[in-house]
Amino acid sequence: MSAPRPYRSTPVFDQDTLPAALRARHDTKAGVWGLIRVIEGELELTYLDPQSKVVLTPGHSGLILPQQPHFVTPRGPMKMQVDFYDQHPALAASPQSTRDPN
């Protein structure tokens, strides 16, 4: 069985093109997981339920669960992209991904 593949990905954003909607509280839809991948630099991911913060880097991706409120904050120059899945992405495919916060 192969690892799940994203059904959609955002464009690559940098610290200037990152949409305001991603910098403010938002969540994924029911049945949708997001995997935030940092290509360059650092990005702070703030989970709101449960409350926690994680610094994402090129070696450490961030997993967003369905309907989990969160927002991101660039920590200087960076490039990032979000992949969307209709099932839990196999973290084995990204061995240094951050933990599932739940």
96 pLDDT exceeds 50? no
Is residue 71 in some structural domain?
yes
Is residue 26 in some structural domain?
yes
pLDDT at residue 1, rounded to an integer: 59
Determine the structural domain holding residue 19 and report its residue range: 8-93
pLDDT at residue 7, rounded to an integer: 95
Q: What angle do CA 24, 100, 57 make, to 5 degrees?
A: 65
Is residue 20 in some structural domain?
yes
- Choice between 102 and 64, residue whose per-residue pLDDT is larger: 64
Distance CA 32, CA 20 (A): 21
Q: What total number of domains does the chain contain?
A: 1
**CATH classification of the domain holding 65:** 2.60.120.10
Q: What is the pTM of this model?
A: 0.85
Query: pLDDT grade, residue 97 (50/70/90)?
Result: very low
Residues contacting 31, CB < 8 A, separation 6+: 66, 86
Over residues 38-53, mean pLDDT: 96
Query: pLDDT grade, residue 91 (50/70/90)?
Result: low
